[in-house]
């Protein structure tokens, strides 16, 4: 088991706990997780694959952030009223942790769980509540990392993703 993966999982557990508990994420913990994710990424790829995969992930993040920005204009709210700064920073940890297709799968699962949590909270309380999305994304990332560590599935390889699905 890779020591960097273990450290990253511990940092993700901290993010999960603090975001669900206080709806806040420690900036130092996020920065450490970004650093460790970057080191793990550089260990996995050659420079050409690294640039293309990270570029595609960052392009997708740009589209997501543009959509949130447009929603903030439509709702006449500030960007960070719709999405917390911890959520924004956590997206970069995720972008550094996946190949592009696996990143799309990760974002889809995290978004669906976020929507489900929002619907459950709204239904129980009768009002719009905040969703600890960085914590939720952290939980999903921990799940992906555990599958990565215990099977031949790799978060950094889209070909293995296809093979994993095909059986």
* Contact (CB, 8 A) for 2 and 58: no
- Residue 28 — very low, low, confident or very high, per pLDDT cuts 50/70/90? very high
Tell me the whole-structure pTM to 2 decimals: 0.93
Its sign, for the CA torsion 124, 130, 134, 135, is negative
Containing domain of residue 115, as a range? 3-166
Let me know the angle formed at the C-alpha of 112 by 40 and 11, rounded to the nearest 5 degrees: 30
* Span 50-95, pLDDT tens digits: 999 999 999 999 999 999 999 999 999 999 999 999 999 999 999 9
Q: Write the CA distances from 5 to 10, 97, 110, 146, integer angstroms.
A: 9, 10, 20, 9
Tally of domains within the chain: 1
* Span 125-140, pLDDT tens digits: 888 788 999 999 999 9
The average pLDDT across 93-121 equals 95
Reference 29, options 21, 44, 41, 19; nearest CA is 19
């Amino acid at each position: 088991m890779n020591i960097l993966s273990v450290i990253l999982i511990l940092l993700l557990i901290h993010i999960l706990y603090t975001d669900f508990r206080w709806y806040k994420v420690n900036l130092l913990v996020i920065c450490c997780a970004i650093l460790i994710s970057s080191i793990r990424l550089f260990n996995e790829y050659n420079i050409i694959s690294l640039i293309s995969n990270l570029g595609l992930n960052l392009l997708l993040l740009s589209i997501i952030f543009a959509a949130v920005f447009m929603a903030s204009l439509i709702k006449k709210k500030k960007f960070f009223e719709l999405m917390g700064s911890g959520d924004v920073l956590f997206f970069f940890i995720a972008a550094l942790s996946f190949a592009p297709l696996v990143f799309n799968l990760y974002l889809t699962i995290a978004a669906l769980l976020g929507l489900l949590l929002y619907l459950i909270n709204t239904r129980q309380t009768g009002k719009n509540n905040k969703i600890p999305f960085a914590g939720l994304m952290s939980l999903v990332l921990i799940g992906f990392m555990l599958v990565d560590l215990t099977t031949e599935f790799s978060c950094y390889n889209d070909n293995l993703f296809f093979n994993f699905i095909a059986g």
